[in-house]
Amino acid sequence: MDHGEKSKVIILNNKDDINLTLLNEDKLFLFRDSFISSEVLYRSSEKLAGIGICNIHLPEKKVNFSDNLYRILGYEPGSFIPTLRLILKFVHPEDKKILKGITKIESEVNNNSEFHRPLRIITKNEETKYVSINSKLKETENAQTVMISVKDITMEMKEIMKLREQNKELKRINAQLSAFNMVASHDLQEPLRKIQIFSSRMESINDATPHNISDYTFKIKNTAQRMQQLVSDLIAYSETSKPDIKFEKVNLKNIVKGVLKEMAFHIDEKKASITTSELPEATVIPFQIHQLFVNILSNSLKYCLPDVPPKVTIKQEDVTDIDLNKLTGYNKSDLISISIEDNGIGFDPIEAENIFLVFKRLHGKLEFDGTGIGLAICKNIIDNHTGYIRAEGNPGSGTKITFTLPRDRN
């Protein structure tokens, strides 16, 4: 349309919409536009970005929530009147100190200083969400106001935690590969070399006396049995890393009863006494927890003091601060802790961490039979249950192994 041409403008109002119809001799133009108030635009942007706003007016401590902050907390906008005390009720117990620091901002920071804090909140439906907190102090002649933006970062945090778990698993697999490389280069080849040596000697014996033949045959048999045990332990170790494992709610005392029945002959042979207290229910992988008790009890029977019958106590323990530090994100009520304590030869406390390393032997194989895989299997099993296992002991004073794991699976 030329500027010189005459045009007719018709304006029709319909709520927020304005239809502009421009008419001239040749063409009909229809324009539709929407005039949105700044408040509507703000609310839409806030919701789209997943951000909520909280303003705290100081020193009166008056609190205002934006509509989307209500939604982030799982409520309808305006469904309750926010207060500082009420805000803290939404914060995860372990993260309350973060938000308390923000409410004291006026005495701790200079004007316009900014704080950035991540924390967990509990919504109306008991869902845990992760949010990032960005707070800023604004001062005017009449008042101070803390402005807090709350961004829902739950999806981002879940991805980060997933990546952390994957990295942790990769490190564990790399450690296993290094250990397998060591056993393939030494532990598996060493018995094979002995079998070859003793077989060659048998072939080259000129005075093939029954005593010589019997001695070499005995050594070959023992060496072959040791390698067979090593291969069996390696298979058991690899079995604990299978992904298709199912958790079930069971009573741990029933599992221990099955273990004691399975090991009855060995227990009688050692004249051992096993004392078991009441044990709790837990959601676990039953066959793995069975293997865990078998391996720990086997060690207690094996590493006993000369001429001293083994005594083993299995009981539930109180969850300690050590356990909580290792298993972050849990309360004491979420966890169970079980100990197996014996009166055996013990170990040097400096080896408390090494005792769970794969193929790590604290004693020579001439002193005690073993492949050094048993407790490494236990560590793998507890890792599968996202738990924590530790050992305590002193030479000649016995060993206490304690494992802590979640009572239920979320």
Q: Is residue 316 part of a domain?
A: yes
Q: Is residue 162 part of a domain?
A: no
Distance of CA 398 to the CA centre of its chain: 30
Query: Which CATH number does the domain housing residue 201 bear?
Result: 1.10.287
Backbone phi, then psi, for 328, in 5-degree steps?
-65, 150
The verdict on 12 and 113 lying in the same domain is no
SS3 122: strand
The verdict on 9 and 132 lying in the same domain is no
Instruction: Report the distance separating Cα 342 and Cα 14, nearest Å.
Output: 85
Residue 106: pLDDT band with limits 50, 70, 90: very low
The verdict on 327 and 216 lying in the same domain is no
Q: Is residue 375 part of a domain?
A: yes
Residue type, 329: G
**Is the four-CA dihedral 57, 59, 63, 69 of positive or negative sign?**
positive
Residue 92 has a pLDDT of 86
| pTM above threshold 0.85 | no
Q: Percent of the chain having pLDDT more than 70?
A: 67
Residue range 334-344: mean pLDDT, rounded: 94
> DSSP assignment, residue 104?
T
Mean pLDDT of the chain: 76
Q: Is residue 409 part of a domain?
A: yes
Q: Is residue 3 part of a domain?
A: yes
Please check the confidence at residue 305 and state whether its pLDDT lies above 70. Answer: yes
Contacts of 296 (CB under 8 A, 6+ apart): 340, 375, 378, 401
The verdict on 231 and 357 lying in the same domain is no
Q: Is residue 109 part of a domain?
A: yes
Q: Is residue 80 part of a domain?
A: yes
The number of distinct structural domains making up the chain is: 4
Domain containing 27 equals 1-35
CA distances from 50 to 3, 41, 53, 102, 160 (A): 46, 14, 10, 21, 18
Query: Which CATH number does the domain housing residue 68 bear?
Result: 3.30.450.20
The verdict on 211 and 301 lying in the same domain is no
Look at residues 179, 214, 239 and tell me which one is the last residue of a structural domain.
239
Please check the confidence at residue 340 and state whether its pLDDT lies above 80. Answer: yes
Instruction: Report the distance separating Cα 42 and Cα 59, nearest Å.
Output: 27
Look at residues 239, 273, 298 and tell me which one is the last residue of a structural domain.
239
The string of pLDDT tens digits covering residues 278-304 is: 999 999 988 889 889 998 998 899 888
Residue 183: pLDDT band with limits 50, 70, 90: low
Please check the confidence at residue 75 and state whether its pLDDT lies above 50. Answer: yes
Contacts of 223 (CB under 8 A, 6+ apart): 191, 194, 195, 198
Please check the confidence at residue 204 and state whether its pLDDT lies above 90. Answer: no
> DSSP assignment, residue 93?
G
The string of pLDDT tens digits covering residues 217-262 is: 777 777 776 676 666 666 666 666 555 578 899 999 999 999 999 8
The verdict on 388 and 276 lying in the same domain is yes
Q: Which of 194-198, 266-270, 285-289, 290-294 has the lowest mean pLDDT?
A: 194-198
Query: Which CATH number does the domain housing residue 286 bear?
Result: 3.30.565.10
The verdict on 250 and 202 lying in the same domain is no
The verdict on 141 and 197 lying in the same domain is no
The verdict on 286 and 324 lying in the same domain is yes
Residue range 136-157: mean pLDDT, rounded: 82
Residue 335: pLDDT band with limits 50, 70, 90: very high
The verdict on 146 and 192 lying in the same domain is no
What six digits make up the tokens of 233? 């332990």
What six digits make up the tokens of 299? 């060690």
Q: Which residue would you say has higher pLDDT here, 75 or 206?
A: 75
Number of separate helices (H) and strands (E) present in the chain = 12, 15
Q: Is residue 161 part of a domain?
A: no
The verdict on 270 and 374 lying in the same domain is yes
Q: Percent of the chain having pLDDT more than 90?
A: 20
Look at residues 200, 215, 239 and tell me which one is the last residue of a structural domain.
239
The verdict on 207 and 81 lying in the same domain is no
Please check the confidence at residue 52 and state whether its pLDDT lies above 80. Answer: yes
Please check the confidence at residue 387 and state whether its pLDDT lies above 90. Answer: yes
What six digits make up the tokens of 76? 């309808």
What six digits make up the tokens of 74? 């799982």
